[in-house]
């Protein structure tokens, strides 16, 4: 984390300290925030590409737009593919899976899990990776009654919501550990996302956590008369 992130985490523990002081201490201890490297996504010839629907769209409420993406998670030996479903407005991770293969069945599985728990979103946004353009995945989006949106090819900024999540999980957890097995990676990632949702504040959310924003912004349930 950078100085702002560390300041916010300390504040949640009752320790009042300014960003500049945190930055000074980081410099003294030789601590600095790391920066991410670009990811990749392979398209599949012949698969249907859907239009990008988020340009100039004001995303203001939970379950309005979900974003899915896949990234590499390095281990001591080899790597796994990590896919997550993120509610864009709240930054909350609704479902995730670490798998050893890059297949549409994994993406459909976590999308189905998220829909079962939270209901279907209005829009599902992905990149043009082969796993997301496969009929097995796109049919799941259509069957849920959601619209499918896809980023421009190579335009990572279109899905910047998830790119920021990858930065957080890799540089706050993965790169600080060397998972020695797939099971260890899965357990570590599950632990991180539970903490991320419940305890990691975001400046874009006015320094509240994804859980607080997501559940706080959902409409109150209607009680039977």
Q: What is the pLDDT of residues 98-151, one digit of tens each?
A: 998 888 899 999 999 999 999 999 999 998 888 899 999 999 999 999 999 998
Q: What is the pLDDT of residue 38?
A: 39
Give the pTM.
0.76
Residue 210 to residues 3, 53, 58, 160, Cα–Cα distance (Å): 20, 23, 18, 16
Percent of the chain at pLDDT > 90 equals: 50
| pLDDT of res. 39 | 41
Specify the length of the chain in residues. Answer: 225
pLDDT of residue 158: 54
pLDDT at 192 over 60: yes
Distances (CA, A) of 19 to 31, 107, 140, 147, 208: 14, 39, 45, 41, 17
> How many distinct helices (H) and strands (E) make up the chain?
8, 5
């Amino acid at each position: 984390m950078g100085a702002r992130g560390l300041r916010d985490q300390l504040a949640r523990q009752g320790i009042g300290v300014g960003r500049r002081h945190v930055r000074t201490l980081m410099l003294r201890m030789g601590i600095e925030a790391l920066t991410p490297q670009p990811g990749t996504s392979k398209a599949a010839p012949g698969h249907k590409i859907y239009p990008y629907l988020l340009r100039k769209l004001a995303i203001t409420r939970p379950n309005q737009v979900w974003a899915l993406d896949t990234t590499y998670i390095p281990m001591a030996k080899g790597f796994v593919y990590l896919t997550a479903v993120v509610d864009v407005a709240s930054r909350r991770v609704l479902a995730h899976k670490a798998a050893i293969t890059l297949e549409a069945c994994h993406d459909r599985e976590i999308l189905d899990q998220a829909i079962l728990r939270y209901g279907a979103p209005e829009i599902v946004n992905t990149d043009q990776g082969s796993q997301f353009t496969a009929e097995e995945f796109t049919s799941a989006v259509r069957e849920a009654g959601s619209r499918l949106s896809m980023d421009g090819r190579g335009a990572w900024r279109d899905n910047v919501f998830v790119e920021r999540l990858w930065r957080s999980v890799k540089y706050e957890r993965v790169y600080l550990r060397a998972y020695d097995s797939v099971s260890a990676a899965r357990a570590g990632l599950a632990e991180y996302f539970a903490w991320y949702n419940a305890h990691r504040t975001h400046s874009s959310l006015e320094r509240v956590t994804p859980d607080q924003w997501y559940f706080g912004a959902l409409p109150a349930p209607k009680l039977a008369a």
